[in-house]
Amino acid sequence: MPESSAQLIDGKIYAERLRAQVADQVAALKAAHGLQPGLAVVLVGDDPASQIYVRSKGEHSLAVGMHSVTHRLPADTTQHELLRLVGELNVDPLIHGILVQLPLPKPLDEKAVLAAINPDKDVDGLHVVNAGRLASGQPALTPCTPLGCMILLRETVGDLTGLNAVVVGRSVLVGRPIAQLLLQADCTVTIAHSRSRDLPAICRGADILVAAVGRPRMIRGDWIKPGAAVIDVGINRVPFDDPVKAAEGRTKVVGDVHFKEASQVAGWITPVPGGVGLMTVAVLLQNTVTAAKRQMGIESV
């Protein structure tokens, strides 16, 4: 591994490349099979961040030639109404991928809604069936962010066989699925978290360090093995260091890794913003193509 200061892993470059590949796959599916992959996104309520994410997903899916539908529901939508919509999308032949934007307004039951999605259309990879498939090594729809992390690692580090990987964080959305993906890549994997004893020492043993703990700048430079690949999944809003900007209530986005310190030690590192987050929507598009092909029994295009 490199011993110099870190090479930046630019998520924009890899996301653009993946979207171009998806567009080619969509065009090939249309030409060879008359199949247009379809993605349905469901947004309940008016959360500003969710609205931005949903709009981005819709625009990108149209840009690659997919069939794209967005269902915007009011915040007072009942559980029954939401489940009825999910049921309709489950049997819609034009829809191959379903994504319900989280978080849902209270008192809606997120677990019940996710469980109602057809696992074969669960392009967010959050259904328990897909989690089980992933854990048992079967073909699964995998959560978008972990899969995006793996693409970045393979594109930069290359062969991951035999490397020591430490995942800091055990969420079902990121930590656990990426640990499974790293195992499948023949890494030796440790799952750590905020309560692990001597967490800095655990991190120092990592050739690959994935930070997904949700604490701003928690992982310091002296926690990192020289030359390691650092994948920072964290998205945290903190006040500006500048006291004037901080006094104005302005915030900025930082990761779970102290970037300035870590970039002097690591071999590769993802910035925040500009790293893993940009891959998430691109992988969502890839998951939709994968789901469409599997549902139609198409092996390749």
Asked if residue 23 belongs to a domain, the reply is no
67-73/97-100 β-pairing: unpaired
Lowest mean pLDDT among 44-58, 110-124, 158-172: 44-58
Query: Are both 164 and 248 inside the same structural domain?
Result: yes
CATH of the domain at 201: 3.40.50.720
Asked if residue 285 belongs to a domain, the reply is no
Residues taking part in catalysis: 57, 101, 124
Contacts of 263 (CB under 8 A, 6+ apart): 5, 6, 8, 269
Q: What is the pLDDT of residues 79-114, one digit of tens each?
A: 999 999 999 999 999 999 999 999 999 999 999 999
Mean pLDDT of the chain: 94
State which H helix or E strand residue 55 sits in: helix 48-63
Asked if residue 134 belongs to a domain, the reply is no
Q: Which residue has the tokens 């690949």?
A: 229
Asked if residue 234 belongs to a domain, the reply is yes
Contacts of 273 (CB under 8 A, 6+ apart): 235, 253
Query: Are both 195 and 108 inside the same structural domain?
Result: no
Asked if residue 1 belongs to a domain, the reply is no
Asked if residue 196 belongs to a domain, the reply is yes
Contacts of 10 (CB under 8 A, 6+ apart): 271, 274, 275
CATH of the domain at 112: 3.40.50.10860
Query: Are both 104 and 177 inside the same structural domain?
Result: no
Question: What is the count of structural domains for the chain?
Answer: 2
Query: Are both 70 and 167 inside the same structural domain?
Result: no
Query: Are both 149 and 251 inside the same structural domain?
Result: yes
Domain containing 83: what range? 35-118
Q: What is the pLDDT of residues 168-222, one digit of tens each?
A: 999 999 999 999 999 999 999 999 998 899 999 999 999 999 999 999 999 999 9
Last residue in a domain, options 118, 153, 186:
118
